[in-house]
Amino acid sequence: MSEDYIDYRLIRSQMSSELEEIITEGNLGEQLESVLRAVCVLPYPDIQFPIIASFIASPVTLMSTAGILFLWGSSGTGKSQIATVASELYKTTSVLANSTFASLRNKIQHERFYDPLQCEFEKNFILVWEDITPSLLIENENMLSLFKVLNRKNSRITISSQTPGTNMIFNAFALKVINSIHPLWTFWELNELKRRMFPIWFKKRL
């Protein structure tokens, strides 16, 4: 019966093994940069690719500050491919624009710690969020607070609990990679994000 069907899993597996050919020898940063260069075109590659690779490979567990890598450009420029590389490196998944604050909070809480119930034994984690629109941050104070977190010492967000009269403390510290077709730094409501972002401009292939 199985002979009547094509096993696409084998094809995907073969394609994945072929991707190894684009990875150069060297340290993690050099290997990561070789993959990034293969999936998109940047206007200033010799400057931008090392920045992206360095940010993605940063050991957040050893860091006291963690900013936002902001991938900006029109559709079809490779932003999502870079986001996919970042999430795959940390064995996580990217989240989409319609995600709620609660879902992002739970993702950080459960994937940032080996013991998510006690929030102990931190591991390297990166939050990758795609297709952000300005309104998502401007109209949701909790969401904006999550992305304004820069310093580990000031990373706790107080949110209301389901139990009346009590609050929950959420630690939002994490490396963050976001992408958008909108230049978020041009909106005055998002001024606080400016000094927290590393904007990378993408352009379409010729």
- 103 domain residue, yes or no: yes
pTM over 0.85: no
- 14 domain residue, yes or no: no
Residue type, 170: F
Q: What is the pLDDT of residues 25-55, one digit of tens each?
A: 777 788 899 889 988 889 999 999 999 999 9
- 4 domain residue, yes or no: no
Gyration radius of the chain's alpha carbons:
19
Q: What is the pLDDT of residues 92-110, one digit of tens each?
A: 999 988 888 889 888 988 8
Short-list 96, 77, 189, CA closest to 141: 189
Give the CATH number, domain containing residue 184: 3.40.50
Q: What is the pLDDT of residue 23?
A: 60
Q: What is the pLDDT of residues 107-144, one digit of tens each?
A: 988 898 888 777 788 899 999 999 999 999 999 888 89
Residue 12 confidence (pLDDT) above 70? no
Range of the domain at 114: 58-201
Contact present, 92 and 111 (Cβ < 8 Å): yes
Neighbours of 122 (CB within 10 A): 15
Residue 205 confidence (pLDDT) above 90? no
- 76 domain residue, yes or no: yes
CA 85, 89, 95, 101 torsion-angle sign: negative
- 44 domain residue, yes or no: no
- 197 domain residue, yes or no: yes
- 32 domain residue, yes or no: no
Domain count, the chain: 1
- 118 domain residue, yes or no: yes
Q: What is the pLDDT of residues 172-198, one digit of tens each?
A: 889 999 999 999 989 999 998 888 999
